[in-house]
Chain A
Amino acid sequence: MVPGAKEWERYLADFAQLASNGTTPAPPWTRELRRSALDRFTALGFPTTKHEEWKYTNVAPIARSRFERAESTRNGLTAERLALFTFGEQGGTRLVFVDGRYAPALSALPDLSDGMTAGSLAGVLTADPTALEPHLARYAACQDHAFVALNTACMEDGAFVSVPAGTAVPKPIHLLFVTTAPEKSTVSHPRNLILMGGGSRAMIVESYVGLGPASYFTNAVTEIVIGENAVLTHDKLVEETDVAFHIATTQAQLARSAVFTSRAITLSGALVRNDTNAVLAGEGGDCTLDGLYLLHGRQHADNHTRIDHEKPHCSSRELYKGILAGRSKGVFNGKIYVHQDAQKTDAKQTNKNLLLSENAVINTKPQLEILADDVKCAHGSTIGRLDEDAIFYLRSRGLGLEAARGLLTYAFASEVVSRITIAPLQGRLDRLLLARLQSLDGWSGASGVPA
């Protein structure tokens, strides 16, 4: 490394061979993709809090850390160990990635007979890259987003799911990203591409977990392309460790009359940033972006959403709820952009926050930009504490103070969780919430995070 080089240049060292195509046989278009992304990242650098989109989220700890590309080892990981992070789905497809790389031995691909493709993106890049070329990195823009650029330059592997036109996948598809982080601080750049053919239907769960004691950084990008009349439910779960950094962009493109439901659920992680963006690019599209963040200790979670209404007669609904305990910090920034052509847009955005401690902080900001004149747009945000009248009501029926507070907090969160359509996943989250929130003090007293 050149003395005096910028901190982030260290990041690129491990991945430089990918970018320069040293060892991986890759088609020229991907080389060009990486090279231009690298140029873009080099030009942007890591954002600072002077950047409007990063005003409340300081990524300096990421910039100054030395994260290495993980060694190719599974650290004795077994399917049994992962059972904790699955949700009892029977017979569904599961793609497991360990430290950023596909782990076929831990994955399950039972029902691919109906023409669906599900597997490693790296594998497809080697075997059949032409299928990816029209889509990969065509939606998640590197232009203004340093982490997307970094991911695009350094991406190694991730999930590729393609559901053919007219196919309904009955069982949830689980994409599970595990970081082992046994000693060294590691980084991975998971890259996912999900293609939904016209009239297809699927449910995808994308979850991120960590095992080891060491700090790590997950920098993920998921691109989703939903064809005409196709229906996709995408539940994202962040369950990283208390010393982990997680930055991710989910970028969805909706064709005419497509239906997209996204949930971004943050349960743990030192610093978490979810960018969830949807472009309603055809008439009659319908998009729901829901989210839940459950923070304690010194955790920091930032949810940025952007919905682009490009065409007429589309509707969007957004409900993000946050529970903040300890000294945690939350950010919600929801942008709705109604383009000039998008008449009859119906958009509604809600952000509700529950502060459980005096020291928790939430920054919430709705942003509506409306260029069409015949639209219905509404937004609202609330920040509150537990209702004393409700606590007294529950206690007067025999519930202890902690149980009453926990139940009310659970009730607040359940508005989002109850909308999850995958019953075993909903059940798992429900139990997890009840367990955590029934001993609120114990839970909110714990702390994470290296400052």
Chain B
Amino acid sequence: MLVIEDLHASVNGAEILRGLDLEVHAGEVHAVMGPNGSGKSTLANVLAGRESYEVTRGRVLFEGRDLLPMSPEARACEGIFLAFQYPVEIPGVSTAYFLKAGLNAIRKHRGLEELDAIDFLAMAKEKLKIVEMEESLMTRALNEGFSGGEKKRNEIFQMVVLDPRLAILDETDSGLDIDALKIVADGVNALRGPDRAMIVITHYQRLLNYIVPDHVHVLVNGRIVRSGGKELALELEERGYDWVKADAGAPA
């Protein structure tokens, strides 16, 4: 589904990703872990198409198509979803209005009929239950005055509504208490399926107790330095990142 080859990317002239390779197949959940500053969020933003991140080398194929020239909205229409590490507050725009506009843009692209307000709300109400949020969420201004946990649950709610093929979760676990973490994990697990893939970016192993990954990758200094199964996450939890950093310095 997703093939990343020799990806180099810079932010404000500073190179953050330095030759990243990753392959993700449909039905898989990949965890990308790494210390602060290793390039985890850069990877997420590059995949979602944020313009302030400049790709200087390499290529990314999504379903066999070149992803990098696509606009963020084109990527959303193709089925890529990013759950933001820091969701943006937008006063004056209700979640319902914004999400319906997004969903209908995506549906249109997929050749589906646009949903009217009634059908949209009926569908959204069902999905709200998955993240255990009140219906009042729909009429509240997008993320305005939301607690950290509410914002993250709203991200998962949007993901469930937009029904992406590839979901990228950028430190969705940060700032969550254990109850909110379980709700978020339940939402993610509800979406797992043979046609869908996920990249779960996290600093801590904790989330992976609830979202069990098929593959774990360790990102250090802009490259994946180690890959393995779910047990790699536990090893990292125990030993910290220093040993992989040290390993990364030595030739394999």
Residues on A lying within 8 angstroms of B by beta carbon are 387-390, 392-401, 403-404, 407-408, 410-415, 418
Contact = CB atoms under 8 A, between A and B. Distances in A.
A292 to B, nearest CB: 13
A389 B91 CA distance: 14
Contacts of B72: 392, 395-396
Contact of B105 (A388, A393, A398, A418): A398
A392 B76 CA distance: 11
B76 A395 contact: yes
B92 to A, nearest CB: 3
Contacts of A404: 73
A415 B91 contact: yes
A398 B106 contact: yes
Contact of A399 (B51, B73, B141, B158): B73
Nearest to A390: B88
Contact of A393 (B84, B103, B106): B84
B82 A396 contact: yes
B117 interface: no
Contacts of A396: 48-49, 72-73, 75-76, 81-82, 84
B93 A397 contact: no
A411 B88 CA distance: 14
B99 interface: yes
Contacts of A393: 84, 87-88, 90
A398 B103 contact: yes
Given A395-B72, A396-B72, A398-B77, A408 B102 contact: no
Given A396-B73, A401-B73, A414-B92, 14 more contacts: A387-B88, A393-B84, A394-B90, A395-B49, A396-B72, A397-B76, A398-B101, A398-B102, A398-B162, A400-B73, A404-B73, A408-B90, A411-B90, A411-B93
Nearest to A410: B92
A394 B91 contact: no
Given A400-B73, A401-B73, A394 B92 contact: no
A229 B41 CA distance: 58
Contacts of B81: 396
A394 B98 contact: yes
A90 to B, nearest CB: 24
Contacts, number: 77
B50 interface: yes
Interface string B93-121: 10001110111011001000000000000
Contacts of A413: 92
20 contacts: A392-B50, A394-B90, A394-B98, A395-B49, A395-B72, A396-B48, A397-B98, A397-B102, A397-B158, A398-B77, A398-B102, A399-B101, A400-B73, A400-B105, A401-B71, A403-B105, A407-B93, A411-B141, A413-B92, A415-B91
Q: What 3 A-B pairs have minimum CB-CB distances, sorted nearest first?
A: A411-B92, A397-B102, A398-B105
Nearest to B159: A397
Q: Which residue, of A393, A398, A401, A404, has the highest number of chain B Cβ atoms within 10 A?
A: A398
A322 to B, nearest CB: 15
A410 B94 CA distance: 12
B136 interface: no
A394 B105 CA distance: 11
A394 B100 CA distance: 12
B12 interface: no
Given A410-B92, A411-B92, A394 B102 contact: yes
Nearest to A415: B92
A403 B93 CA distance: 13
A414 B141 CA distance: 11
Contacts of A395: 49, 71-73, 76
A400 B73 CA distance: 6
